[in-house]
A and B are shown apart, each in its own frame.
Chain A
Amino acid sequence: MRNPEKFRLRRSMLFLNAQKPGLIRDPYVYAPDTIMLDLEDAVAENQKDAARYSLYHALKEIDYHGVERIVRINGLDTPHWREDVRVCVAGGADGIRIPKTESGVDVRAIEEEVRKAEQEFGVEEGKTLLMAALESCMGVINVMEICRSSERLFGIALSGGDYTKDLQTVISGTGIELAGARQNMIIAARAAKVQCFDTVYTDLDNMEGFERETAMIKAMGFDGKSLINPRQISIVHKIFTPTEKEIIFAEKVVREIDEKKKLGIGVFTVDGKMIDIAFYDGAKRCLELAKASGVYRKGAAEC
């Protein structure tokens, strides 16, 4: 049941209120990798049904031109989530973001409803992927269990606002309050071989701060970031897309390691830098990211 889209490129995941036609009409013009149509916090309690209706028609009628469509449903502690899941599956959403995930049990509860809905609406089993948002200390503590909870789960995401509330602190802008969660999450995600996404950056007037934070989480190993405004997309893509220099170097590393291995040489230099087999996977990943980002130059050797 392995879904080929499970580990697609997800540098930018743009939140959009599922109830706003003007927002969900054509967000693909901004070229995000993923849109996250929100049924949860952006939608008032007495508008949940209207938002679901709007969401269903958007999923059914609008051609999103290959941009992934994830839906953030309401939490397990609400009366809404079961119907949310049915609408997502019936509409053909690519995936569901589970808010406030605290354990593997939470993920499996959603998974079971998704499976039933796929049956009910004649959707191929396994088509609807899952991602888990960690919004509490309990969620972060149970991160490994969550990462391993479902074959459908492609990744985990930090939700910094709720998490810092639970931690009894506030977002400071320095990232110190999120350091532990970020570190735990990325290590667990890599160990479990799922993707890991960073929280939103809410100060739209501070694009330099946003750029710094994005560069930091890229350096930490994250796959992408949740976004609240289209202005943030190009910055994330710039940071997450390998530069031409990096691509050329990675190509050389892959080629040289392949050749030197045949000659029985383990350690050598490329452009003055010491290279051994430990660099191989990183260089391959760089080329894969370049290909997925659409910047890999034509005619270049297959990696």
Chain B
Amino acid sequence: MLNSVGREIPEEIIKLTGKEVFQGAFAKDGVEYQRAAPVVKPVMSNTTSKMVDSIHEALVKCGVRDGMTFGFHHHFRDGDMVVKLVMDEVHKMGIKDITICASSLGRAHDFLVPMMEDGTVTNIESSGVRGEVGKAISHGKLKGLAIMRSHGGRVRAIQTGESRLDISFIGAPTCDDYGNCRGIGGKSDCGVLSYSHVDGNHANKVVAITDCLVPFPNYPPHIPMAKVDYVCVVDAIGDPTKIATGAAKPTTDVRKLTMADYCTQFVVNTPYFKDGFSYQTGIGGASIASTISLTKIMEERGIRMGFGVGGLTKPMCDLLDKGLVNLLLDTQDFDLSAVSSLTNPRHHRISAGAYANPFNKGAFVNKLDFVILAALEVDVNFNVNVVVGSDGIITGAQGGHPDTAAGAKCTIVISPLLQGRIPAICTDVTTVTTPGETIDVVITEYGIAINPLRQDLIEATKDTDLPFCTIEELRDKAYEIAGKPEPVQFGERVVGIIESRDGTILDVVREVKEFKLDK
């Protein structure tokens, strides 16, 4: 069946998943649903200990068995050790058919590939997958389906009961013996535990895993004891050198600086750029550079930001230090400056649900004026791909991309015209991961294309010196330089689905085939 972004979704996938096809970014607005509730085992006795001696004991006490779904967060990014600690034990115990439902998976999880091959892990639900796991999924090594969904989409899927978490493992930088977890302190400081809130609320069993046990009460907790069944102390839950590193040096790449400058000029020429505006940006060189150049204009014009939200980096925290933003609402810390900024009383932690869950009674993303995003590919219908590489291999993550794109009044995608020698602006993206109706502006070093759906933005910026053109002109320019690439050759088997934030199917990812040149 064709969905509303023109992607053919095979009937057997619709039947297998019980999902509908995507019908538009806001098709489910106002549609009521029943929230799922977890099974809770109360602790009434004052002699009950939540402490377990090992991951093994935690698994046994949680009643681990074949076919369960495990929840994990990715706040430790490439330094994560929690998934490995748990899955190595599960593997040793001979448990099979596990579904991993993580907020994201990356290069720290390459070890999962043999477990996919031997049937320990048969399903993966994640914002996306980088590294060897992505390659393995694309080569058909996962028995079941990979479901790629946004950060907001994960919270929605758990709250609606589409994903039922049997056990969630929360890596906690500090924790007490009764399960009060904090994202700050300890050896594996990640600042926040935003992605785990939904696990705490909805998983049947919650295991806190820490390498820094602190005296009770570890207060104020980011995941409170009332939601935690067991506490396990291990030697290390993360590699701090890969969790939050020193702030990235601002880019000196002239192309990125050019795009950043275009972005800033565009932002300040829209009607949304006024005192109290809200803003989210990413961690790419151009995004960071545009925040830096925007800061200068805010200072010159005396304009303050109302709130900044999402994953944070130093330039956003610098705004807070300069008094140029009223509040920072933090879901993830990408550098040590962001972690240390959490001591500022105007820098608040929020849950991934509050941030982006489309099935909330409203999320922060809905109140965004601007979001600055990146892309692997953008097509002439403004559809964006951030998950599947132009070689057909799963290599990225949706993160909050579709959530913020749908929520923000002005969604800007910054992308170089070419990624290496592959056109990033193309006729059809390899995979649709954010629908074009939610993308307003595409900025490249060659020119800026505004989505024709946004005549108001075209009108508002028409008298600027910015190099406007159509998205087709950008595509043509990219093809003129690099040539039109041969389409990636896929097999028939669907190995993954790209779930829209509302739970419908936006696209499918097929197994890749070895590329063969035409005779």
Q: Which residues of A contact B (CB under 8 A)?
A: 21-22, 25-26, 29-30, 204, 229-231, 233
User: Within the complex, what minimum Cβ distance (angstroms) separates A297 from chain B?
Assistant: 13
Give A25's nearest chain B residue, CB to CB: B481
State whether B254 touches A231 (Cβ < 8 A): yes
A29 to B256, CA, bound (A): 11
- A29 near B252 with CB under 8 A, answer no
Mostly, the B contact residues are: mixed
B255 sits at the interface (CB 8 A): yes
Q: Once the chains bind, are A29 and B481 in contact (CB under 8 Å)?
A: no
CB-CB < 8 A to B252: which residues of A?
A: 204, 231
Chain B residues 407 to 424 lying within 8 A of chain A, measured CB to CB, are 418, 420-421
A196 to chain B, nearest CB (A): 26
Residue B269 at the A interface, CB < 8 A? no
Chain B residue nearest to A204 in the complex (CB): B252
B254: chain A residues within 8 A (beta carbon): 30, 229-231, 233
Please give, as numbers and ranges, the residues of chain A lying within 8 Å of B420 by CB-CB distance: 22
Contact with A along B415-446 (1 / 0, CB 8 A): 00010110000000000000000000000011
**A231 CB contacts on chain B under 8 angstroms:** 252, 254, 257
- A26: nearest chain-B partner, CB-CB: B481
**Assembly CA distance A25 to B445 (angstroms):** 14
Assuming A25-B481, A29-B445, what are 4 further A-B pairs, CB within 8 angstroms?
Answer: A21-B421, A22-B420, A204-B252, A233-B254
Select the residue from A22, A230, A233 with max chain B CB neighbours within 10 A.
A230
* Chain B positions near chain A (C-beta within 8 angstroms): 252, 254-255, 257-258, 418, 420-421, 445-446, 481
In the assembled complex, the Cα of A204 lies from the Cα of B252 at a distance in Å of: 10
Using CB atoms, name the residue of chain A closest to B477: A26
Minimum distance in angstroms from A227 CB to a CB of chain B: 11
Chain B residue contacts of A229, Cβ below 8 A: 254
A30 CB to closest chain B CB, in angstroms? 6
Q: Chain B residues near A22: list those with CB within 8 A.
A: 420-421
Looking at the assembled complex, report how far the CB atom of A14 sits from the nearest CB atom of chain B, in whole angstroms: 10
Question: What residues of A have a CB within 8 angstroms of the CB of B258 in the complex?
Answer: 29
> What residues of chain B lie closer than 8 Å to A233, measured between beta carbons?
254
CA distance A29 to B447 in the complex (A): 10
Which A residues are in CB contact (< 8 Å) with B421? 21-22
Q: In whole angstroms, how far apart are the Cα atoms of A230 and B258 in the complex?
A: 11
**Smallest CB gap from A30: residue in B:** B254
Top-5 shortest CB links A-B:
A230-B254, A29-B445, A231-B254, A30-B254, A231-B252
A229 vs B253: C-alpha distance when bound (angstroms)? 10
- Bound-state CA distance A204–B253 (Å) is 12
Which residue in chain B gives the minimum CB-CB distance to A63?
B480
Considering the chains assembled together, what is the distance between the CA atoms of A26 and B421 in angstroms? 12
The CA-CA distance from A22 to B418 in the complex, in Å, is 10
Question: What is the distance, in angstroms, from A75's C-beta to the closest C-beta of chain B?
Answer: 30
- Min C-beta distance of B165 to chain A, whole Å: 46
Chain A residues with Cβ below 8 Å from B257 are: 231
Q: How far is the CA of A119 from the CA of B420 in the complex (A)?
A: 39
A171, chain B: closest CB distance, angstroms: 22
C-alpha spacing A158/B462, complex, angstroms: 44
- A22 to B417: give the CA distance in the assembly, Å: 13
Interchain CA distance A22-B421 in the complex, whole Å:
8
- In the docked arrangement, what's the CA distance between A204 and B255, Å? 16
Measured CB to CB, the nearest residue on chain B to A230 is: B254
Measured CB to CB, the closest approach of chain B to A284, in angstroms, equals 28
CA distance A290 to B258 in the complex (A): 23
A296 to chain B, nearest CB (A): 15
Q: Please give, as numbers and ranges, the residues of chain A lying within 8 Å of B418 by CB-CB distance.
A: 25
B254, B257, B445, B481 — most chain A CB neighbours (10 Å)? B254
18 contacts across the A-B interface (CB closer than 8 A): A21-B421, A22-B420, A22-B421, A25-B418, A25-B481, A26-B481, A29-B255, A29-B258, A29-B445, A29-B446, A30-B254, A204-B252, A229-B254, A230-B254, A231-B252, A231-B254, A231-B257, A233-B254
